[in-house]
Amino acid sequence: MTETRKSELPLEARLAAARERANPQADPRAVAGNAFAQGTRLALELVAGILVGAALGYFLDRWLGTLPWLSILGFLLGLVAGFMNLMRAVNREAAKISEAELAALPRVDDHDDEESMF
């Protein structure tokens, strides 16, 4: 038992080192910048949906002379559309993260010139 464990340990260590080499840790500053960009992006999705919905409702109101009913309807629909945009954006990110997790699995170093530019 102890024999196999001893031989397993260096393998684990080597695997970890290989993983580290294949997928180096991201720079924390880059991670913070990315998170900041994400945050402003998601906040904007919600606001833009509401603005577009309300503006659309308002112009329809002015055209049809039904102020304020279509504005209110447009505002509410815009709110829903904003949340839907938000949900889609988050889902897209979530899909990317699970892809990144898949990519984080140990893999063989790629020595192909075409692919390893950066």
Contact stretch for other proteins (CB under 8 A) within 11-19, 48-56, 61-69, 104-112: 48-56
Residue 117 sits in the site that holds other proteins (CB under 8 A): yes
Single residue of 16, 92, 106, 110 touching other proteins by CB under 8 A: 92
- Residue 22 tokens, joined: 């294949």
- Opening angle at CA 83, ends 34 and 92, nearest 5: 45
Computed on alpha carbons and rounded to an integer, the radius of gyration of the chain in Å comes to 25
Residue 41 sits in the site that holds other proteins (CB under 8 A): yes
Q: Which residues contact 82 (CB under 8 A, 6 or more apart)?
A: 45, 46, 47, 48, 49, 50, 53
Residue 77 sits in the site that holds other proteins (CB under 8 A): yes
Residue 84 sits in the site that holds other proteins (CB under 8 A): yes
Q: Which is nearer to other proteins, 48 or 72 (CB)?
A: 48
Q: Could you give the 3-state DSSP secondary structure of residue 89?
A: helix
Residue 70 sits in the site that holds other proteins (CB under 8 A): no
Q: Which residues of this protein are in contact with other proteins, per CB under 8 A?
A: 29-30, 32-34, 36-37, 40-41, 44-45, 48-49, 51-53, 56, 74, 77-78, 80-82, 84-85, 92, 114-115, 117-118
